[in-house]
């Protein structure tokens, strides 16, 4: 485990989860950020009052903006949450941006149904999606997957290219990502003029929910302290 040579004070990390997940996805990340001096806000994105089938990207974006508006946060977005974080940069005074296995705006390869049914799915599907995780973590995730708005993911696929942020930016890439290819994540890093950390032989969920997740989080905090400290 990395022992940080410095920490930040009065710093907030706002973490935005991926599709079908929740703030619980950052369970292995929060301790590293707390040790680095950050207050951690792991957002649970809520469906629109009109129902999940009517939830759109702006509904989620507004929640991130509202939670971060009274702070000068570091934004950490995973997968779908990375696209939301990229958009939120235009509305918030962001200190730094970390994109973990980001959904690449404008480049999703499929069309999703109005509601994606993930809650209560087969346990074997969770096992298959988390090959690097231990049994306890697989069960923890399986019990918490939720249904997701396909409309949000379809809207991400139709986004115009997002301008490069002016804050320090890091892209964390899973080398064997089966959801968003590593090549696309690296192309995004190039477009955003971002630093990158490549996790070798890693699936989409590995940087957050595998035996290596805590180490990935430590590397992200070390990057932050070098760029902000």
- pLDDT reading at 10 higher than 80: no
Q: How far apart are CA 1 and CA 182, in angstroms?
A: 26
pLDDT, tens digit (0-9, with 9 covering 90-100), for 56-96: 999 999 999 999 998 899 999 999 999 999 999 999 999 99
- 196 forms beta bridges with 171
Q: Vertex 23, ends 18 and 28: CA angle to 5°?
A: 95
Superfamily of domain 11-228: Alpha/Beta hydrolase fold, catalytic domain (3.40.50.1820)
Residue percentage of the chain with pLDDT more than 70 = 96
Confidence label for 160 from pLDDT (cuts 50, 70 and 90)? confident
What is the pLDDT at residue 131?
97
- The 8 Å CB, 24+ separation contacts for 210-216 are 210/130, 210/132, 210/133, 210/137, 211/132, 211/133, 211/134, 212/132, 213/28, 213/29, 214/1, 214/28, 214/29, 214/31, 214/32, 215/1, 215/2, 216/29, 216/172
What is the pLDDT at residue 108?
61
Mean pLDDT confidence for 85-114: 91
Mean pLDDT confidence for 2-21: 83
Query: Strands, E, within the chain: which ranges?
Result: 11-16, 38-43, 74-78, 96-100, 115-116, 148-149, 169-174, 195-199
Write the CB contacts of 44 (distance below 8 Å, at least 6 apart in sequence). 17, 22, 23
- pLDDT reading at 20 higher than 70: yes
What is the pLDDT at residue 1?
42
Q: pTM for this structure?
A: 0.95
């Amino acid at each position: 485990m990395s022992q940080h040579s410095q920490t930040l004070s009065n710093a907030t990390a706002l973490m935005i989860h991926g599709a079908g997940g929740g703030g619980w996805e950052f369970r292995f990340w929060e301790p590293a950020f707390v040790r680095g001096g950050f207050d951690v806000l792991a957002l649970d994105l809520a469906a629109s009052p009109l129902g999940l089938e009517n939830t759109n990207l702006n509904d989620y974006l507004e929640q991130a903006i509202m939670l971060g508006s009274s702070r000068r946060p570091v934004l950490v977005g995973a997968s779908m949450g990375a696209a939301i974080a990229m958009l939120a940069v235009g509305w918030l005074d962001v200190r730094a941006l970390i994109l973990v296995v980001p959904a690449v705006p404008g480049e999703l390869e499929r069309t999703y149904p109005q509601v994606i049914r993930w809650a209560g799915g087969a346990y074997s599907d969770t096992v298959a999606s988390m090959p690097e995780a231990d049994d306890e973590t697989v069960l923890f995730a399986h019990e918490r997957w939720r249904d997701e708005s396909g409309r949000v993911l379809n809207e991400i696929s139709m986004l115009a290219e997002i301008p490069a942020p002016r804050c320090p930016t890091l892209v964390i890439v899973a080398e064997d990502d089966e959801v968003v290819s590593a090549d696309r994540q690296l192309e995004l890093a190039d477009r955003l003029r971002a630093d990158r950390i490549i996790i070798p032989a890693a699936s989409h969920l590995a940087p957050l929910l595998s035996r290596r997740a805590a180490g990935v989080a430590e590397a992200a905090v070390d990057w932050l302290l070098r760029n902000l400290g």
